[in-house]
Amino acid sequence: MKKPALIISACLVGRSCRYDGASKILAELGELEKLFDIVPVCPETDGGLSVPRPPAEIINGKIITADGEDVTGTYEKGARNAVVTALRAGAKYALLKESSPSCGTHLIYDGTFSGRKISGEGITARVLRAEGIKCYSENTVGELLCELQNVDVTLK
């Protein structure tokens, strides 16, 4: 039986594509590889940003770097590329890097570059959800695994 496709932030599979040139490899990657056809994407580099690059945060609906550059268009291009990749792969799920202005699924930085996080979602998470793709983060990977196994994870 063919495994379902999983769109996953490339930094979570070990690609050094984060703004600081690092990766954040996911502890559960081996388990996910048994269950899914892993399809890594980095909307930021796929949109044309370099590694390393200045950190960026969402400010009044725009994505602005710490040095004041508006990179919204580049992030939008990367998000569109991620959607195309997801649709081509037939992905129904995405596992994205929390807090990123691209990939944040529940949290993003507050736009002050102070390290403070707020509720919100990144642009890629938003457009993937708009296409009906369920988005999870490294913080909710257990929910993704339960979803795949049709286990109810609702707190009683």
Q: Per-residue confidence of the chain (156 residues) as pLDDT tens digits? A: 789 999 999 999 999 999 999 999 999 999 999 999 999 999 999 999 999 999 999 999 999 999 999 999 999 999 999 999 999 999 999 999 999 999 999 999 999 999 999 999 999 999 999 999 999 999 999 999 888 776 444 433
Domain coordinates in residue numbering, the chain: 5-53+75-98+121-148
Predicted confidence at residue 48, as pLDDT, reads 97
pLDDT at residue number 150: 64
pLDDT at 149: 73
- Specify the DSSP class assigned to residue 11: G
pLDDT value, residue 152: 43
Cβ(12)–Cβ(95) under 8 Å?
yes
What is residue 116's DSSP assignment?
-
Per-residue confidence (pLDDT) for residue 44, from 0 to 100? 97
Q: Work out whether the CA dihedral 47, 48, 52, 56 comes out positive or negative.
A: negative
For residue 4, which of 88, 91, 87 has the smallest C-alpha distance? 91
What are the tokens at 67?
């040095």
What pLDDT is stored for residue 1 in this prediction?
74
